[in-house]
Amino acid sequence: MKLVPSLVRQGVKSQAAALSESDKRLIDVCSASPDAALSGLDSSRDGLSIELAEAVRKRYGFNALTKKEKKFFVFDIIGRFKNPLAIQLLVIGGISLWMGDVRSAVVVGGMVLLSVILSYVQETRSGKAVEELQKMVQSNTLVIRGGKETEIPTVELVPGDVVVLQAGAIIPADLRVISAKDFFLSQSALTGESMPIEKTAELAGEPPKSVIELPNACFQGSYVVSGTARGVAVNTGERTYLGSISAKLSGEKTQTSFDRGIEGFTWLMIKFMVVMVSLVFLIVGLTKHNWLDALVFAMSVAVGLTPEMLPMILTVNLSKGALVMSKKKVIVKRLSSIQNFGAIDILCTDKTGTITQDRIVLEKFVDVTNRPSDDVLRYAYMNSYYQTGLRNLLDRSILSHTDLDVERSCSKVDEIPFDFQRKRMSVIIEYEGSHVMITKGSVEDIYSACGSYQLDDEVLPLIDVIKRDLMEEYERLSKNGYRVLAVAYKEFPKDKTVFSTKDEEDLVLLGYLAFFDPPKDSSAKALAALGRMGVAVKILTGDNELVTQKICGDVGLDAKNVITGGQLTGLDEAALGKAAEEHTVFARLSPAQKEQIISSLQKAGHVVGYMGDGINDAPALNLADVGISVDTAVDVAKESADIILLEKSLMVLEDGIIEGRRVFGNIVKYIKMGASSNFGNMFSVVGGSYFLPFLPMAPIQILMNNLLYDISQTGIPMDNVDDEYIAKPKKWNIDNIKKFMLFIGPMSSIFDYATYFLMLYFFGCIAFKTGGPNGPYLEKLFHTGWFVESLLTQTFIVYIIRTKKIPFLQSVPAMPMVFTTVLVILVGIFLPYSRFSDKFGFVPLPAVYWLWMTGFMLAYAVLTHGMKVWFYKKFGDD
């Protein structure tokens, strides 16, 4: 699941009133001691045995929220007959059977069966392939089973499992905390509260107002900000607090731009179908005086106008795109995000690991006079060693720089986790008979909390002159691309054991550390390539503006006008939107400000991608049109993302964006084909129904024509896409599709009417009016002639519509598409001469007909190509 934005903002309120059985169960477990809670769940601190865990899973099922269960394949196929199109076809078949036309009923039934089975096979094959890909980035949970730490897929977690939790981990179920150390959670997805909340193993002092306020319970959907803990799973799957909410919200899925685009096209087709079917029914009924035939014909026309292959084309296209992207180290978690991926025109990302090498090296550890200081390194090492929050790259660099046996000389007492307001974190250790707070963080925020500094063994007041000198050195290092952290300390009496942020004052400044993370050699090239593709890259970072400006400038980004989080604070919506548009590099941002920038860009009409891998990136990943993370990211970032990169690189991102555009291009091809073809058929059928002495085509022939045409389009997902098309972002533009339909569609009607008059006057079908023994033959000859022309022209014209260029000469189609279209054209030519032609009401066509048809197809191709060229010059292809 993608972590939901605050459920409070979606109108789901605290369940303070009626408690569910699951809530009561959780409250009962949380009211017992940790050992009693474990015992009540048939567990222990060594966790469940493997055999018992399997037995519990069979009882409670998998740990998954409300989800469509897989059906036995027979029931899945039967369920597809409930599709409105299949029902429509079955009704036509039923009416044909009632009228005594067993042949038509059998053919229609066969068409339904073929359509359903083809859809099932294609979608099942694609679905299995995508599931295998998604398993590569599935969420895992660390549990204790049989006394050993074991990593299992989160869906296999069961009540009674003992879960091991650390910073960055997502809470996999509703848990009762059984042990904790400085353990802070973010429950913002459930409550809307952004500040971390501490959880302990202690019993609640007073009954909570609602289950969400239990101080020793952790809820699925929240995540660990800092600290460590162990908890026993109480409720899993749909029985969790989040599960109960998800069930209520299951019908309120947020639509992506892809969903909205498909919905817009579908409604456009429905409107045209309703108008046309109504007109055909009335015209045929009034002119032919047989309302039952009029009904059957109108329903057949409705089927012919419905792009019933759209769901399969979409599924195959998206699945194929996901498979291709996986070979380029891009894993798609949500198929519908592929189109948004290709439509990105602004990519927001941090600089670390994307434009830098992600190999931070500790270059300097010095005192306030810029002399190397082992004390600074030792204190920084103890801070990084004892902190239980997620160790970032700076902490890892400190710990890898030296190896100190700190546990021999000191022990941890307490911890004050990092937050984005203070921009520092502290650990308190017992050291040489005192409790010492060691604080590490941003230079400005450490300096502001210091009242003195240490030089050798002497502690001196931190006067303004010293501060200015220190800031000048800090700025010099930052301008050279160094990331700088300050280190300070404060001693407390040994009897003080509980600490808070209020204790972070009057600190003694010890010195600072300087780190260097050089730019990647490929960054400038990747940024230039994204720029050529129409993707603007904006850097959103928490680092200071000087180091950000240096690094960004080195890779070719416009870093002259860096704007900071402080400058953004207090701006109204309009001013913030202007700043988001005009600036490329943003520094000293809080997570909330990253969200604000993304939201402002979205309101301005941009499709925004956000790339992040940290705990603080989760809100922005949720908000962005496409959330992008990496497989080495913390759990909460991976869970919030739509796309997972197997390599943290802008070059990999570029490949994924290209494939997203290719997928979208092929989907639009089918949609433009279906829209223009159906609109052209509307003119042809309505006119023919009015002035022809018989129906333009028999209902069964319309159905056969529609089926063959749909088969010809199944090669589109494998088709090539012009380089020019994927050179810039593409968005859904239903208005453009509507215009394309209005201008290109009537081209086919010109040749439909030409075929009408060819068959009526050149081949003598007009003689049908005089009656006589040749009447039925002439009617069948007309039907055959128009069936073949209609099928061949609309199948062949895909080569014109699939590209803005000259077909074959400047743009070559893929062989799978050539195969399906040529196959259908050959079947269309063969049918009138086959042994079963009379089953469909066909008769052999005269040889001269094919000369006329060759001329029609050439003229149709030239005319449509000319109209297409004019259309794209006039309206563009966006």
Q: Which residues are catalytic?
A: 350
DSSP string for 698-709: -HHHHHHHHHHH
- Amino acid, single-letter form, for residue 874: K
Most distant CA pair in the chain, distance? 122
Nearest residue to 144 (alpha-carbon basis) of 224, 241, 249, 38: 38
CA 873/CA 299 separation, integer angstroms: 38
Q: Answer for the pair 240, 60: CB distance below 8 angstroms, yes or no.
A: no
Nearest residue to 715 (alpha-carbon basis) of 321, 317, 319, 304: 317
Alpha-carbon separation of residue 595 from 197, 353, 600, 620, 623 (angstroms): 21, 20, 9, 5, 7
- Segments in 306-411 forming alpha helices (H): 310-327, 337-343, 374-386, 393-401
Nearest residue to 671 (alpha-carbon basis) of 343, 269, 287, 299: 269
Q: Answer for the pair 832, 803: CB distance below 8 angstroms, yes or no.
A: no
CA 132/CA 135 separation, integer angstroms: 5
CA 44/CA 90 separation, integer angstroms: 59
Handedness of CA 698, 703, 707, 713 (dihedral sign): positive
N residues, the chain = 878
- Our measurement of the distance from residue 482's CA atom to the centroid of its chain's CA atoms, rounded to an integer in Å, reads 35
- Amino acid, single-letter form, for residue 685: V
- Amino acid, single-letter form, for residue 245: I
CA 538/CA 655 separation, integer angstroms: 19
Element holding 538 (H helix, E strand)? strand 536-540
Element holding 783 (H helix, E strand)? helix 775-796
SS3 content of the chain, % helix, strand, coil (to 5): 55, 15, 30
- Amino acid, single-letter form, for residue 26: L
Q: Answer for the pair 174, 192: CB distance below 8 angstroms, yes or no.
A: no
Residues forming a β-bridge with 453: 460, 509
CA 286/CA 284 separation, integer angstroms: 6
Q: How many CB atoms lie within 10 A of CB 358?
A: 16
SS3 call for 467: helix
Residue with tokens 């020793």: 216
User: How would you classify the pairing of strands 140-145 and 148-153?
Assistant: antiparallel
SS3 call for 48: strand
Q: Quick one: tokens of 280? A: 């055909």
Which residues, including other chains, have CB under 8 Å from residue 457's CB and lie 6 or more apart? none
Q: Answer for the pair 753, 687: CB distance below 8 angstroms, yes or no.
A: yes
Where do the DSSP E strands lie in 417-467?
424-431, 434-442, 450-455, 458-461
CA 309/CA 299 separation, integer angstroms: 18
SS3 call for 180: strand
Nearest residue to 750 (alpha-carbon basis) of 804, 711, 797, 708: 797
By the 10 Å C-beta count (0-12 exposed, 13-18 middle, 19+ buried), 639 is classed as: buried
User: How would you classify the pairing of strands 458-461 and 482-492?
Assistant: unpaired
- Amino acid, single-letter form, for residue 597: I
| Helix orientation angle between 734-757 and 775-796, rounded to the nearest 10 degrees | 150
Q: How many CB atoms lie within 10 A of CB 836?
A: 8
